[in-house]
């Protein structure tokens, strides 16, 4: 069927439908039955518009056609996702290891000098003779009796009186495990402030977000991921060999950069290789394995007796990651934007070979060097480009508020006296099925409404916590865990949403900036929890969830949309989405026009455009036309029917 014949057929069908609608309108109480007459399956105008937009977008993006030829989700893509599992487990391990190596210890002064008088003294006898007691009868932890030159019988008979701070270190008789506290004697005025450790780690995350984001867009995804894995190997596994607390802080500073760098760049690589809902599924699986890493850490910390052994055993899986040098692929989208068309074609052909597919030569030939203007981009564009600036500010606010709410709920669990192992394991177990359920949510509702729904659920949990009596401890803990699960799903949706919004040329940098906003939310949460009363942080958590909900409605939907590669494509897509939203809001004010589905079999793009234009004319109110125009159009329809 050629275009002319199809157009005539569709115009004729539209005329018949229009005449039927006019006949029906002459009968009192009758309605337009064009949607019910004929075939039961029908196309609405909105569906036609979406189809036309998809055709036009796909026509502009030749790379999408190549990825279809490679295979949407073949062996190559499954292998790529599997490669992200072990690093995500290790990232969770190194990120939360601090919670288990700073266990509280009760120290006592080392008074082994008395063993020179009698080596057979028991530990209890030694402490009873050399340590002063508090008024309640317990031993003082930071004082000792000064050594004397008496014999043991004189010490037992007369006792010791002169006290002094500990001189020869400390012992930990009640400790069952060797922690960082007992290793470096961080007691009696030398206790590390939790704020110091957290600040050092957060500073590393802030720098890692910026450095790795910029490096990824400048050097490529492949070398940046290898650099982050090298950081996990050196700073993560190497933490087991530090000789001082300051060295420990330095290594934690380094590993925090590597963890954040891998999170950003691996998400970018997966986003640019996969298409459609497979992209969302891959990111969800990555985050599920992050939760598995938290449970892996908790299990090891519970069973291993030494903090160094924890880092040795838990960090050992980092060594197989050396093989990523040979098996990890580069992003072909990034290669195209950098003008490396030959390398991009080679990687795509290799992926097709692994998937047992063949890319037609004409498709490969259509991949051409982008223009110089398309490949030029820098961090300055986040301020100078109108649409990019809007997306960055809005999404940054969403990241900050969601991060604040998530960490506030986690910290509130600690205030309720919940043990560290319970706080890590139970939420980790609950988050895995919650994230898997988000697959259905994303497929049915899209990115924007999925984000809104998960934020609303978290806000409801906060509201219930404010309304319930504080004496219901178990109920409040349950609400905190459910709210944390909702926000964990929100974090996953936000990651997917953000990666799809930013263009390829600045995708990693954009994710890095969003991670900065997330770190700001964590710092704000730590500050509010430590400074404000009990219920106020929860109230602010509810307010921040509402703020995130409001900002989420300002973002465009990205489900089933092609990724933007250049700033030019990004600005054009944003402009089209704004106009589409405006036109859709106008269309909803009018009655839907429905066209039989079989009219679109084997339809060309030009015929589809003409059909949509005709349907839009049918949708208009007849009163908006002059009388002469209406009469002329009716005469033409009558002549067509007679002929």
> What pLDDT sits at residue 509?
92
> What pLDDT sits at residue 313?
92
Q: What is the DSSP string of 250-304?
A: HHHHHHHHHHHHHHHHHHHHHHHH--THHHHHHHHHHHHHHHHHHHHHHHHHHH-
> What pLDDT sits at residue 614?
52
Best mean pLDDT range from 119-133, 327-341, 538-552: 327-341
> What pLDDT sits at residue 19?
42
Q: Is the pLDDT of residue 618 over 80?
A: no
Instruction: State the pLDDT confidence band at 122, using cuts at 50, 70 and 90.
Output: confident
- Our CA dihedral for 321, 325, 330, 335, rounded to 10 degrees, sits at 150
Rounded mean pLDDT, 575-601 = 47
* Contacting residues for 430 by C-beta, under 8 A, at least 6 apart: 481, 485
How far is 438 from 344, CA to CA, in rounded Å? 33
Percentage of residues in the chain having pLDDT higher than 70: 78
> What pLDDT sits at residue 377?
75
Q: Is the pLDDT of residue 36 over 80?
A: no
Between 70 and 29, the more confident residue is: 70
Q: Is the pLDDT of residue 10 over 50?
A: no
Contact 212, 257 (CB under 8 A): yes
Q: Is the pLDDT of residue 629 over 80?
A: no
3-state secondary structure string across 106-166: CCEECCHHHHHCCCCCCHHHHHHHHCCECCCCCECCCEEECCCCCCHHHHHHHCCCCEEEC
> What pLDDT sits at residue 94?
92
Between 448 and 588, the more confident residue is: 448
- Size (the chain), residues: 643
Model's pTM, two decimal places? 0.77
Lowest model confidence (mean pLDDT) among 129-133, 187-191, 208-212, 366-370: 366-370
Q: CA angle at residue 310 from 304 to 311, to 5 degrees? A: 170
| CB-side neighbour CA atoms (13 Å) of 40 | 0
Lowest model confidence (mean pLDDT) among 40-54, 103-117, 568-582: 40-54
Q: Is the pLDDT of residue 256 over 60?
A: yes
What would the pLDDT profile of 415-433 be if each residue is shown by its tens digit?
777 778 888 888 888 888 9
Q: What is the DSSP string of 305-370?
A: SBHHHHHHHHHGGGGGGGGHHHHPPPPHHHHHHTT-HHHHHHHHHHHHHHTT----HHHHHH--PP
Between 490 and 134, the more confident residue is: 490
Rounded mean pLDDT, 554-570 = 79
> What pLDDT sits at residue 270?
92
Rounded mean pLDDT, 584-604 = 44
Mean pLDDT of the chain: 77
Rounded mean pLDDT, 145-171 = 78
What would the pLDDT profile of 540-559 be if each residue is shown by its tens digit?
888 888 888 888 888 888 88
What would the pLDDT profile of 280-322 be if each residue is shown by its tens digit?
899 999 999 999 999 999 989 888 888 999 999 988 999 999 9
> What pLDDT sits at residue 260?
93
Percentage of residues in the chain having pLDDT higher than 90: 19
Q: Is the pLDDT of residue 449 over 70?
A: yes
């Amino acid at each position: 069927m050629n275009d002319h014949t199809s157009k005539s057929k569709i115009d004729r069908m539209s005329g018949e439908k229009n005449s039927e609608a006019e006949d029906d309108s002459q009968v009192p109480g009758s309605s337009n039955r064009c949607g019910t007459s004929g075939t039961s399956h029908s196309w609405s105008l909105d569906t036609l518009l979406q189809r036309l937009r998809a055709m036009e977008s796909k026509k502009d993006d030749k790379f999408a056609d190549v990825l279809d030829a490679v295979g949407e989700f073949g062996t190559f893509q499954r292998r790529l996702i599997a490669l992200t599992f072990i690093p995500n487990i290790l990232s969770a391990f190194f990120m939360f290891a601090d919670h288990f190596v700073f266990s509280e210890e009760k120290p006592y002064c080392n008074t082994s000098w008395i063993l020179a008088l009698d080596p057979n003294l028991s530990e209890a006898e030694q402490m009873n003779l050399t340590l002063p007691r508090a008024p309640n009868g317990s031993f003082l932890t930071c004082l000792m009796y000064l050594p004397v030159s008496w014999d043991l019988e004189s010490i037992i008979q007369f006792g010791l009186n002169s006290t002094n701070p500990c001189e020869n270190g400390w012992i930990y008789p009640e400790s069952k495990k060797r922690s960082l506290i007992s290793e470096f004697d961080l007691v009696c005025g030398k206790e590390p402030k939790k704020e110091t450790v957290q600040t050092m780690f957060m500073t590393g995350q802030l720098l890692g977000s910026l450095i790795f984001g910029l490096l990824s867009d400048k050097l490529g995804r492949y070398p940046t991921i290898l650099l982050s894995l090298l950081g996990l190997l050196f700073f993560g596994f190497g933490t087991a060999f530090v000789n001082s607390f300051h060295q420990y802080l330095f290594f934690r500073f380094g590993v925090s950069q590597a963890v954040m760098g891998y999170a950003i760049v691996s998400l970018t690589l997966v986003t640019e290789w996969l298409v459609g809902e497979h992209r969302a599924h891959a990111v969800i699986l990555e985050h599920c394995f992050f939760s598995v890493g938290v449970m892996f850490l908790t299990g090891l910390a519970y069973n291993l007796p030494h903090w160094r052994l924890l880092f040795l055993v838990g960090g050992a899986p980092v060594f197989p990651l050396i093989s990523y040098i040979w098996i990890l692929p580069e992003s072909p989208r990034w290669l195209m934007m950098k003008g490396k068309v030959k390398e991009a074609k080679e990687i795509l052909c290799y992926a097709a070979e692994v998937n047992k597919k063949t890319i037609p030569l004409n498709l490969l030939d259509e991949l051409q060097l982008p223009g110089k203007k398309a490949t030029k981009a820098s961090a300055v564009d986040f301020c100078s480009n109108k649409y990019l600036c809007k997306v960055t500010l809005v999404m940054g606010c969403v990241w900050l508020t969601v991060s604040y709410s998530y960490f506030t709920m986690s910290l509130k669990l600690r205030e309720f006296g919940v043990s560290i192992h319970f706080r890590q394991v139970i939420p980790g177990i609950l988050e895995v099925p919650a994230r898997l359920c988000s697959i259905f949510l994303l497929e049915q509702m899209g990115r924007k409404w999925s984000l809104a729904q998960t934020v609303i659920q978290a806000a409801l949990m906060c509201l219930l916590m404010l309304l319930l009596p504080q004496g219901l401890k178990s109920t409040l803990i349950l609400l905190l865990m459910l709210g944390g699960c909702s926000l964990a799903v929100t974090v996953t949706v936000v990651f997917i949403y953000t990666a799809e919004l930013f263009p390829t040329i600045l995708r990693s940098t954009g994710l890095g900036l969003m991670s900065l906003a997330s770190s700001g939310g964590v710092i704000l949460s730590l500050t509010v929890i430590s400074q404000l009363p009990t219920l106020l942080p929860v109230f602010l958590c509810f307010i921040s969830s509402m703020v995130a909900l409001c900002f989420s409605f300002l973002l465009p939907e990205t489900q089933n949309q092609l990724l933007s590669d250049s700033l030019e494509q990004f600005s054009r897509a944003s402009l089209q989405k704004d106009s589409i939203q405006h036109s859709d809001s106008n269309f909803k004010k009018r009655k839907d026009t429905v066209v039989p589905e079989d009219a679109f079999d084997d339809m060309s793009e030009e015929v589809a455009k003409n059909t949509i234009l005709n349907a839009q004319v049918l949708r208009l109110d007849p009163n908006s036309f002059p009388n002469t125009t209406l009469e002329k159009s009716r005469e033409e329809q009558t002549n067509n029917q007679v002929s």
